[in-house]
Amino acid sequence: MPFYSSLLALCCLLWACTFGNAAATQKRAVPPGFVTTNGRSFELDGKPFAFVGANAYWLPLLTTERDVDFTMQQIQGAGVKVVRIWAFNAINATELPTALETDLTYYQASMMLDAETYTHLRTQVWNSSEWTVNDGPQGLQRLDYVVSSAEKHDLKVILTFGNNWAAYGGIELYINWIYGAENATHDIFFTDPAIIASYQRYIKTIVERYQDSSTVFAWELVNEARCTGDILSAGPNCVPGSNTLKTWYQQQSDFVRGLDANHMITAGGEGQFFWAHPEEYWFDGSLVSDYNFNGQAGEDFDGDLQLPNLDFAVYHLYPQSWYPELDFPGSNFSVEDWGLGWITAAKANKPVVIEEFGLSGLQNKTDIYPSWVQHALDTGHAIMPWQFGVLGLTEDGGNRLIQYTDQIFRGVRCNFCNTIYPNQTQVWDIFTKAAKIQDERSG
């Protein structure tokens, strides 16, 4: 039986939504120009702040200021207000020579360097389990430029501290560097004191660098935290009910709040639930307990939001890659309906952002985004598609190699080919129209 198809399933959703969350946090007084929360809304200088945002993690990988400014200009032109950017970029020793040769942006590298080389590179290196920061022109100065360009274009940025996945130096590099990957499980990242201390030192580096900037919309603890990664698997201690991620979210959000009383903090997860009665669906003759509802991912959307220093909720939406069984021949379980159900489920007594979503194929986007976007607007969620691309970058003819086989292709890496470009006007217009609606709702 497809889930979300029955009235019963819908009732379950509404029940969890109504009773699953803690009360809203108290409104915090912040300096002028800082976005904060008020109940279920964002607020800027005492007025509601509703928005369409853009994912563009790759901005600090651009090496020319012209291309950064040009991208920001396009994003601003679409009516976007918030841009989500990776504030992590770590490489290991084997990658360093190629990074230097190709001008790859990096903020952390694992390497034993002699003092002279270190002074020359001013690199954030790992030396045993220690590192120093790359605040040089191939490092954090690129992120500085992106933040300053955002400010010039009246945009705010979400800065993400790390990645559950291997791309651009995921959290498993910490495991590798400190313990070696042999016998390690992915989830020790969330529990091991030495790893946590190391991560917090990185967080502190970023927070202290941009702490006074009202251009920062929020800090994000990690992109898409799960018990498992794409290389290492989950250990026996990261299971439904273990609260491994919740405990880590609590420690890290408290830590960031201790450094910075003003900026908002969010988890960065995909929004998975840990429901007492998770959704089930029929697939190929079997009844399947739904991974996104049964706590296996490690997240507990409702429980995590009880943490006082997580200011707002985010969730991601990729039914095509999460459920290859959707639109299975003979199935009545559709990509579009699954997305609508996921948007309905993501309820909180705090502001909510559909922080990433994507579909492959122009026709799929044209067919399905209007109903998802409308439902998100009706539900009061801020909207950030994965992801915005631009045409007309100059460097390497707009096809810059950003990491080995990874390329910014005609404006952006075609992650899963979810990228949308301004000349795909039917799709682009869905977001510019939504941006206008959000603007009218704002002060």
Ligand X SMILES: *[C@@H]1O[C@H](CO)[C@@H](O)[C@H](O)[C@H]1NC(C)=O
CB nearer to ligand X: pick between 43 and 67: 67
Candidates 54, 232, 335, 384: give the one binding ligand X (CB under 6 A): 335
Specify the stretch interacting with ligand X by CB under 6 A; choose among 42-50, 199-207, 217-225, 320-328.
320-328
Specify the stretch interacting with ligand X by CB under 6 A; choose among 58-66, 155-163, 234-242, 324-332.
324-332
Q: Rule CB under 6 A: is residue 391 a binding residue for ligand X?
A: yes
At its nearest, how many Å lie between ligand X and the CB of residue 339? 11
Q: Which long-range contacts (CB under 8 A, 24 or more apart) does 42-45 make?
A: 42/312, 42/351, 42/382, 44/442, 44/443, 45/443
Candidates 7, 32, 97, 182: give the one binding ligand X (CB under 6 A): 182
At its nearest, how many Å lie between ligand X and the CB of residue 126? 9
Q: Is the dihedral of CA 170, 175, 177, 180 positive or negative?
A: negative
Helices 193-210 and 172-179: crossing angle in degrees, nearest 10, is 130
Pairwise CA distance, residues 52 & 21, whole Å: 25
Q: Rule CB under 6 A: is residue 284 a binding residue for ligand X?
A: no
Element (H, E) at 281: strand 280-283
CB nearer to ligand X: pick between 240 and 283: 283
CB nearer to ligand X: pick between 14 and 261: 14
Q: Rule CB under 6 A: is residue 364 a binding residue for ligand X?
A: yes
Helices 425-441 and 362-379: crossing angle in degrees, nearest 10, is 10
At its nearest, how many Å lie between ligand X and the CB of residue 42? 32
Residue 55: burial class (beta carbons within 10 Å; 0-12, 13-18, 19+): buried
Q: Rule CB under 6 A: is residue 114 a binding residue for ligand X?
A: yes
CB nearer to ligand X: pick between 93 and 259: 93
Candidates 5, 228, 309, 349: give the one binding ligand X (CB under 6 A): 5
Phi, psi of 125 (to 5 degrees): -110, 155
| C-alpha R_g of the chain | 21
Candidates 160, 214, 320, 415: give the one binding ligand X (CB under 6 A): 320
In the complex, residue closest to ligand X by CB = 361
Q: Which of 347, 289, 343, 280 is nearest to 316 (CA)?
A: 343
Q: Which residue has the tokens 């290859």?
A: 324
Residue 29: burial class (beta carbons within 10 Å; 0-12, 13-18, 19+): exposed
Pairwise CA distance, residues 336 & 357, whole Å: 12
How many C-beta neighbours within 10 Å does residue 128 have?
8
At its nearest, how many Å lie between ligand X and the CB of residue 323? 9
Residues in 412-441 at the binding interface with ligand X, rule: CB under 6 A: 421, 423-424
Span between the terminal Cα atoms of the chain, in Å: 45
CB nearer to ligand X: pick between 148 and 424: 424
At its nearest, how many Å lie between ligand X and the CB of residue 131? 9
Q: Rule CB under 6 A: is residue 135 a binding residue for ligand X?
A: no
Which amino acids are annotated catalytic? 224, 356
Specify the stretch interacting with ligand X by CB under 6 A; choose among 26-34, 179-187, 254-262, 296-304.
179-187
At its nearest, how many Å lie between ligand X and the CB of residue 79? 20
Q: Rule CB under 6 A: is residue 92 a binding residue for ligand X?
A: yes
Pairwise CA distance, residues 397 & 41, whole Å: 42
Residues in contact with ligand X by the rule CB under 6 A:
1-2, 5-6, 92, 94-95, 112-115, 118, 127, 176, 180, 182-183, 320, 326-327, 332, 335, 360-361, 364, 391, 410, 421, 423-424
